[in-house]
Amino acid sequence: MSELMLVDAANLYFRAFYALPESITAPDGRPINAIRGYLDMTAALIERRRPRRFVSCLDLDWRPAFRVELVPSYKAHRLAPNGTEEIPDTLAPQIPVLLDVLGALGLMISGAEGFEADDVIATLASRDGATVDVVTGDRDMLALASDRITVCYTGKGIAKMEAMRSAEVLARYGVAPEHYADFAVLRGDPSDGLPGVAGIGEKTATALVARFGAIEDIVAAAQAGDDGFPAGAAAKVRSAVDYLRVAPAAVRGRLDVPIDPLDDALPAEPRDPDRLEQLVGTLGIANSVGRVRAAIAAALAGR
């Protein structure tokens, strides 16, 4: 269990939206499946991990210009015709309402213009001296795992969430967390539009990172003619030098996001009880809000 829980909000509300049917509606008929699902998953996370502090971290820029400048294909496959992120029509209007509910409850929300949630999480986790749980379905976040930071990976859902620190990441992927981004750069990641190095798959990427470490060291060894490469791998690295010189900065989480100190303690009482009561009535989410409040009470009580 950790003191602080940092949640990738977009990952969680997309997961909620696709996990629950749109037939879950408010009294006025609008879908609230993402709202209900997010609240229920939040309750489950707090109940299971018992943090004392909690932050939902936002993508205020899901495709930052500095990453696109480095790797033009970055998330390009997720662009809508108008240049924004593709979001289902019935999910988009739920997001601001969800944030309204979280705010009324008193659960902290944080984001920064020009940065993704990954950067917000990386900055908050790195600058905080407490133990941290990072809740995400993005494997790039495994780079944060350490003896202090637990990455709670939700790739198979909240119920099958995997809590990984340094040892678990190394055992699972064969690379230390601090070199997971280097591994991803070599192997590529279609979900982020990251091309990788042609001809280098997961096995070779693992071997190169385990042998040499960071991308910069792998490139230097390939250019120096080091003999520690699998057959043909050095030539493949040399042919991708232009990509390898810029991609690490696009993949690695930023640790310098300007975020003011946060009042992120779990709220013993709602921050805005009148607004919360209004939202509960309008949306018909009394049970979900009740679960969140019960989970918070139990966490604060230390049970």
Q: What is the pLDDT of residues 119-176, one digit of tens each?
A: 999 999 999 999 999 999 999 999 999 999 999 999 999 999 999 999 999 999 999 9
Pairing of strands 53-57, 149-153: unpaired
**Phi and psi, residue 23, nearest 5°:** -75, -10
Structure confidence at residue 241 as a pLDDT band (50, 70, 90): very high
**Phi and psi, residue 110, nearest 5°:** -140, 140
Mean pLDDT across the chain, nearest whole number? 95
Q: Where are the domains of the chain?
A: 4-173+254-301, 177-251
* Domain 4-173+254-301 part of CATH 3.10.20.30: no
pLDDT score of 298: 96
Asked whether 98 and 13 are in contact (CB, 8 A), the reply is: yes
Instruction: Please tell me the pTM assigned to this model.
Output: 0.94
Angstrom distance (rounded) from CA 58 to CA 292: 20
Q: Superfamily assignment of 177-251 in CATH? A: 5' to 3' exonuclease, C-terminal subdomain (1.10.150.20)
Q: Closest Cα to residue 218, out of 175, 260, 262? A: 175
Pairing of strands 162-164, 149-153: antiparallel
Tokens of 60: 């205020």
